[in-house]
């Protein structure tokens, strides 16, 4: 029997990358998966097929995580389709990196809205469901740069730092109903985006990591599995770094 047998997870931005890896890992442990992405394109529908092949109930939903009304509508749909939501993974995120002197208001607002406001939107929408169930696990995707900052990422770092503050506050509010809130702070994770970097840049990053390698989406998914399952039943309000020692 899997660690998440018959549970229902809602994962945002799960069409690809870390979100997809989390969805696959959860499905391998018997979890039914509702996941969102900005549009139901070919990549997203292929992810839906991959998940369905694991023998669990799966449905993809188009939703702009930064839009308050859309978020509440999609959560209502998911509850109708699946009956409950046991796990929420707030994974949707974007980057618009540049030096502060060149950063536009649009670049700031877009990153804050997608990365930080989306966490408020989905947590707010899911809270009544978990409150009624008297339990749930919310996992928010932060970043090591939300802890230590990074040049040319003022907007991204601010959004990820905000997620940490939100997570700790929500954990204190909702623990009384056995609703746990934790954050994961990934470091240098090898994805399509980081693979596009020049090799010398990637090597420079890896040389700063005690484990001497970039992480994989699966590394992050394993931490998410721990936080989603009853293995972490007494863990709430925490930030778990998944960074190979980069931020130790």
Question: Which residues are catalytic, by number?
Answer: 156
Cβ atoms < 10 Å from Cβ of 33:
28
* 8 A C-beta contact, residue 19 and residue 44: no
Could you give the C-alpha distances from 227 to 86, 122, 181, in angstroms and in order?
12, 18, 9
Counting every residue written for the chain, the total comes to: 248
Q: Which two tokens stand for residue 144?
A: 């090591």
Strands 136-141 and 87-90, bridge-based pairing: parallel
Could you give the C-alpha distances from 14 to 78, 80, 108, 112, 190, in angstroms and in order?
15, 20, 23, 19, 16
User: How many Å separate Cα 70 from the centre of its chain?
Assistant: 18
Q: Which two tokens stand for residue 75?
A: 């959560």
> Helix/strand/coil (H, E, C) string of 60-126?
EEECCCCCHHHHHHHHHHHHHHHCCCCEEEECCCCCCCCCHHHCCHHHHHHHHHHHHHHHHHHHHHH
Which of 226, 216, 245 lies closest to 180 in space, CA to CA?
226
């Amino acid at each position: 029997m899997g660690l998440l047998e018959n549970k229902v997870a809602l994962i945002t931005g799960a069409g690809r990358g870390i979100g997809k890896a989390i969805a696959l890992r959860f499905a391998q442990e018997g979890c039914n998966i509702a996941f969102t992405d900005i549009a139901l394109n070919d990549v997203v529908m292929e992810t839906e097929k991959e998940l369905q092949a694991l023998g669990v109930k799966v449905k993809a939903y188009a939703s702009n995580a930064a839009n308050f009304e859309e978020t509440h509508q999609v959560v209502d749909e998911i509850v109708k389709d699946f009956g409950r939501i046991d796990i929420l993974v707030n994974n949707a995120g974007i980057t618009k990196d540049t030096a502060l002197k060149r950063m536009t208001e649009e670049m700031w607002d877009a990153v804050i809205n997608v990365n930080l406001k989306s966490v408020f939107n989905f947590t707010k929408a899911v809270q009544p469901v978990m409150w009624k169930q008297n339990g749930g696990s919310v996992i928010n995707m932060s970043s090591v740069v939300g802890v230590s900052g990074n040049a040319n990422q003022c907007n991204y770092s601010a959004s990820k730092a905000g997620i940490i503050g939100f997570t700790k506050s929500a954990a204190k509010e909702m623990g009384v109903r056995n609703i746990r809130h934790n954050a994961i702070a990934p470091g240098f994770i090898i994805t399509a985006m980081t693979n596009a970097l020049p090799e010398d840049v990637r090597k420079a990053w890896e040389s700063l990591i005690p484990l001497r390698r970039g992480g994989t989406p699966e590394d992050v998914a394993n931490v998410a599995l721990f936080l989603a399952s009853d293995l972490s039943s007494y863990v709430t309000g925490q930030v778990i770094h998944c960074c190979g020692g980069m931020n130790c």
